[in-house]
Chain A
């Protein structure tokens, strides 16, 4: 496997000023690392990768890495990526998006991208909170948990993102955590290879906002929690409902083959040209 220094040299932008904007202890960099290792393991050409994001802490990921990178507007990474992919089907399009970006303001685009089955890999960095704006509750903040816009506890119920995208028609759904970097790397690798719309939900932590207001301890404590609650799909299959309470099932949760959008459109073009 590629070493950390090789990874940095190969994929980080040499003409970009660092440090990055993320807080100490943030999980986003770890997830980005798993993604870069997946890209490296697949031996993809950097010119063939388009890395697209929306707004928020996660939205800042593309600027640091040496691909074709597009930092779009809040919630809109997927429709930007859809236009880009359809115009350049040869590109591997990877979208990085947060829980608020993907499931709140961009929720409509998310479900329609699933339904369309366009060959895009979407990594959803789920830290249960709007971090960049200082810790407001998001569509994945657990019921009863606190945020700076629900200091007495969240009265809304959270989305289960993996279940949502599966129901909406995604043809690959994976889930991991920012603790399980190797598992995450392998799932992202499979997601990129998958032909169709793939979603990888990554449970991660925001020690600065969500962790602080909910007294979850340090980043290390929050990572330890991810280690405790994550149960691999194969192990979960052998557990009963009571044992699974409070657990998060990880792994490749679902994978199926269905006609991909760009390939189908190519057939439309061929048919239209045939009729001329």
Chain B
């Protein structure tokens, strides 16, 4: 077996497709949409050779429905889309949250709202990813900031979906999706693959929504001899609809509890030059690239600036900020939206440091020199 990493020049969307295959994705359903289509095209080519399956559905509502169905059949399932398609998926995303179906949605963000700017970068879907479907529900959202991360975060997304029986959204901006970079692809044996826990008790003992000690219930695939009911209605441990206040509470609270228990594992955060930092830039996605470059220039002129890079956006990794609040004077949040993570930072900061946002919604990026200028202005 080949134990060495291979190096390839990949586009972000290609890296997602490679990550999906490395993670064991064997079912894809999707609908063509810019700027995510490459993921579908690559997987349409590659899945059958691996024994996996690809289907192009009539719309994005059907796409997410099909991957839910396939996941219930025991497949590891993924779809890829962009803003308008992501909007169409919201209802069934809620179904997957409540019925606890593992799946991954890749949303390559375009400028919005509506048809918006289909080929321009944006980070406008951060709050939609969190709250787009109706009702209280937990969600896991990862956002890669490089092509290599697009590969690794896709694997992570699949693994988290399987482990927590929850939909995971990979939120990419168009820059990461279409940027090309040299990526080190680990050999198959080095890729961690997590599979959902299947029941091992006799079928007559199986309660499909009885949570184990981990907070997650074992999931039987249809056809494996465990005949049970899956519904989008609030349900009891048997999976049957219920109106009992106690059972409804247990159902909804249980969804949150399992994600809360995994909070630290789910949260991907990196810190760069934060040890002595008095000022921080909090960034995710392509804004990390601008921030890194700005950091270099700022450090050269002896500004004590660091970077907090958010890989996980939801659940919001509040500790990433909290641990540095005592040493921070100012925090800058550059975003390609009107300020979405900014509000989370405001909430966590609770008045301690000076918070500044830098926003852009015209389809272009925030440049390093603009960041340098803004940080210097803040310091002054």
- Residues 68 to 126 of chain A near chain B (Cβ within 8 Å): 68-73, 76, 78-88, 90-91, 108-109, 112
> Could you tell me if A79 and B223 are in contact, using CB atoms closer than 8 angstroms?
no
- Which residue of chain A has its CB nearest to the CB of B91? A73
Interface status of A196 (Cβ within 8 A of chain B) = no
Q: Mark B37-76, 1 if CB is under 8 A from A, else 0.
A: 0000000000011010101011101110111111111110
Q: Which segment of B225-233, B258-266, B298-306 sits at the interface?
A: B225-233
CA distance A73 to B94 in the complex (A): 10
Interface residues of B: mostly helix, strand, loop or mixed? mixed
Known interface pairs A73-B232, A269-B51, A273-B49; A83-B67 also in contact (CB < 8 Å): yes
Residue of A63, A76, A90 with most partner-chain B CB within 10 A: A76
CA distance A276 to B45 in the complex (A): 12
Q: Mark A35-65, 1 if CB is under 8 A from B, else 0.
A: 0000000000011101010000000001100
Known interface pairs A79-B61, A83-B77; A68-B223 also in contact (CB < 8 Å): yes
Interface status of A225 (Cβ within 8 A of chain B) = no
Cβ distance B101 to chain A, nearest Cβ, rounded Å? 10
Q: How many residues of B contact A (CB 8 A)?
A: 43
Known interface pairs A63-B229, A73-B95, A112-B58; A265-B53 also in contact (CB < 8 Å): yes
> Could you tell me if A80 and B69 are in contact, using CB atoms closer than 8 angstroms?
yes
Cβ distance B219 to chain A, nearest Cβ, rounded Å? 13
User: When A and B form their complex, what is the total count of cross-chain residue pairs whose Cβ atoms lie within 8 Å?
Assistant: 144
> Could you tell me if B227 and A47 are in contact, using CB atoms closer than 8 angstroms?
yes
- Residues 211 to 245 of chain B near chain A (Cβ within 8 Å): 221-225, 227-233, 238, 240-241
Residues of the A chain whose Cβ atoms lie less than 8 Å from the Cβ of B238: 15-16
Interface status of A215 (Cβ within 8 A of chain B) = no
CA distance A109 to B88 in the complex (A): 14
Interface status of A3 (Cβ within 8 A of chain B) = no
> Could you tell me if A86 and B27 are in contact, using CB atoms closer than 8 angstroms?
yes
> Could you tell me if B240 and A76 are in contact, using CB atoms closer than 8 angstroms?
no
> Could you tell me if A79 and B65 are in contact, using CB atoms closer than 8 angstroms?
yes
- Which residue of chain B has its CB nearest to the CB of A55? B232
Residues of the B chain whose Cβ atoms lie less than 8 Å from the Cβ of A182: none
Interface status of B29 (Cβ within 8 A of chain A) = yes
> Could you tell me if A87 and B58 are in contact, using CB atoms closer than 8 angstroms?
no
> Could you tell me if B222 and A83 are in contact, using CB atoms closer than 8 angstroms?
no
Q: How many residues of A contact B (CB 8 A)?
A: 43
Residues of the A chain whose Cβ atoms lie less than 8 Å from the Cβ of B229: 62-63, 69-71
> Could you tell me if A79 and B57 are in contact, using CB atoms closer than 8 angstroms?
yes
- Which residue of chain A has its CB nearest to the CB of B57? A79
> Could you tell me if B223 and A88 are in contact, using CB atoms closer than 8 angstroms?
yes
Interface status of A152 (Cβ within 8 A of chain B) = no
> Could you tell me if B227 and A273 are in contact, using CB atoms closer than 8 angstroms?
no
Known interface pairs A79-B65, A80-B68; A69-B91 also in contact (CB < 8 Å): no
CA distance A15 to B228 in the complex (A): 11
> Could you tell me if B230 and A71 are in contact, using CB atoms closer than 8 angstroms?
yes
Interface status of B92 (Cβ within 8 A of chain A) = yes
Residue of A87, A91, A276 with most partner-chain B CB within 10 A: A87
> Could you tell me if A88 and B74 are in contact, using CB atoms closer than 8 angstroms?
yes
> Could you tell me if A71 and B223 are in contact, using CB atoms closer than 8 angstroms?
no
> Could you tell me if A276 and B232 are in contact, using CB atoms closer than 8 angstroms?
no
> What are 20 A-B interface contacts by the 8 Å CB criterion?
A16-B240, A17-B240, A62-B229, A71-B230, A71-B233, A73-B65, A73-B91, A73-B92, A76-B62, A76-B65, A82-B55, A83-B65, A83-B72, A86-B53, A86-B55, A87-B74, A112-B58, A112-B62, A269-B51, A275-B49
Nearest 10 pairs between A and B by C-beta? Answer: A83-B69, A87-B73, A83-B66, A79-B65, A84-B69, A79-B62, A272-B48, A87-B70, A71-B231, A83-B70
Q: A86-B27, A86-B69 are in contact. List 19 more A-B contacts (CB 8 A).
A: A47-B224, A47-B225, A63-B229, A72-B65, A79-B62, A80-B69, A82-B69, A83-B68, A83-B71, A83-B77, A87-B53, A87-B73, A108-B58, A108-B59, A108-B62, A109-B58, A265-B48, A269-B48, A272-B48
